[in-house]
Amino acid sequence: MSKIGVAVCGNSGLDYMVHDKEIRIFRSLLLIGEKEYEDFIEITAEDFYDRITKDPELDIKTAQTSTGKIYEMYQEMLQSGYDELIVITISKHLSGTYQNAILAAKMIENTPIHVFDSQSLSHVEATMANVAKKMADEGANAAAILEELSWIRDHNHIYVCVDTLKYLVKNGRLSNAAGFFGTLLKLKPLLEISQEGKVETLEKIRTTAKAREAMLNHFKNDIRGKKAEVFIIYTNNMAEMFDLQEELENYEGVSEVKLIPLTPVVGCHAGPGTMGLGYIEKK
CATH placement of domain 156-281: 3.30.1180.10
Q: Which amino acid is at 154?
A: D
Is residue 217 within 8 Å of residue 227, measured between CB atoms? no
Q: In terms of CATH architecture, what is 4-28+64-154?
A: 3-Layer(aba) Sandwich (3.40)
| pLDDT of 205 | 86
- Kindly indicate the confidence band of residue 259, based on its pLDDT and cuts at 50, 70 and 90: very high
Is residue 232 within 8 Å of residue 259, measured between CB atoms? yes
Query: Considering the entire predicted model, what is its pTM?
Result: 0.94
The per-residue pLDDT for range 196-249, each reduced to its tens digit, is: 999 988 888 888 889 999 999 999 999 999 999 999 999 999 999 999 999 999
The per-residue pLDDT for range 94-146, each reduced to its tens digit, is: 999 999 999 999 999 999 999 999 999 999 999 999 999 999 999 999 999 99
d(CA 10, CA 22): 14
Question: Concatenated DSSP letters for 215-268?
Answer: HHHHHHHHHTT--EEEEEEESS-HHHHHHHHHHHHTSTTEEEEEEEEPPHHHHH
The per-residue pLDDT for range 12-66, each reduced to its tens digit, is: 999 999 999 999 999 999 999 889 999 999 999 999 999 999 998 899 999 999 9
DSSP state of 39: B
The per-residue pLDDT for range 151-200, each reduced to its tens digit, is: 999 999 999 998 877 777 766 655 544 555 555 456 788 999 999 999 98
Sorted by where each begins, the domain ranges of the chain are 4-28+64-154, 156-281
| pLDDT of 166 | 77
With a CB cutoff of 8 Å and minimum separation 6, the contacts of 40 are 10, 15, 16, 27, 263, 264
User: Whose CA is closest to 87, among 133, 38, 151?
Assistant: 133
| pLDDT of 251 | 87
